[in-house]
Chain A
Amino acid sequence: MIVPLAHFLILSLIIFCIGLYGALTRRNAVGILMSVELMLNAANINLVAFSRFVSPQSGTGQIFAVFVMALAAASVAVGLAIVICIYRNHRTIAADKIDLMKW
């Protein structure tokens, strides 16, 4: 592999930061979940890159990435279900209109 590890890490960092910014600022709850998925993808790139460069034979990072994927799918399923619930009861999915945690 000719591309150095640091470049993979930087790619993942950029995508992570974009995702983080999205998660912090998007008003649409679905958008927030998508940003979270971006962050998880970035983390996965990191894991796989380290796996390839540090322990190419054991594939530990890949195993972690597989688990992260499974968890990401589960979390997005539940997250979207929560959004549906909120949408049904409040007719909005704007995250800054939903302040139920205040009460």
Chain B
Amino acid sequence: MPGFGEAGYYSYIGIFILFGLLMGFGAYITSWILRPKPTQSDLKLEPYECGEQTQGPTWIQFNARYYVWALIFVIFDVETLFVLPWALVYKTFPDIGLAFTEMAIFLLILVVGLLYAWKKDVLKWT
């Protein structure tokens, strides 16, 4: 990056983060200045549950299947971490057969995991 120098390259990201924050906080501040601020009544501050009183604690317990999905996702996300550098050099790597075989084995092993999950029916909703 000729004009920016080494550090300037990533400063761009920092500046954009600042802009994002600016957008959020700016919106908050403007609306805080502009909006009416009537006194709040207790009823208005009830959580939105179709007008009924909340039953039981809100932070209810969820089914483990959400967890299992997230789990499969984590594994496959990590897999992309290895696939991307491979994909970057695939075209230029001298021994393309080796590159292909390596990734084929890698993916096949993970596909076994996917099939296992499939077979155990954890990919289903019910």
Contact = CB atoms under 8 A, between A and B. Distances in A.
**Touch A–B, Cβ below 8 Å:** yes
Interface of A: 66, 69-70, 73-74, 76-77, 80-81, 84
A25 B86 CA distance: 41
Contact of A69 (B64, B71, B75, B78): B78
Interface in B32-82: 64, 67, 71, 74-75, 77-78, 81-82
A70 B67 contact: no
Contacts of B78: 69-70, 73-74
A69 B74 CA distance: 11
Q: Chain B interface residue count: which class?
A: under 10
Interface of B: 64, 67, 71, 74-75, 77-78, 81-82
A101 B82 CA distance: 37
A73 B74 CA distance: 7
A73 B81 CA distance: 11
Nearest to A88: B64
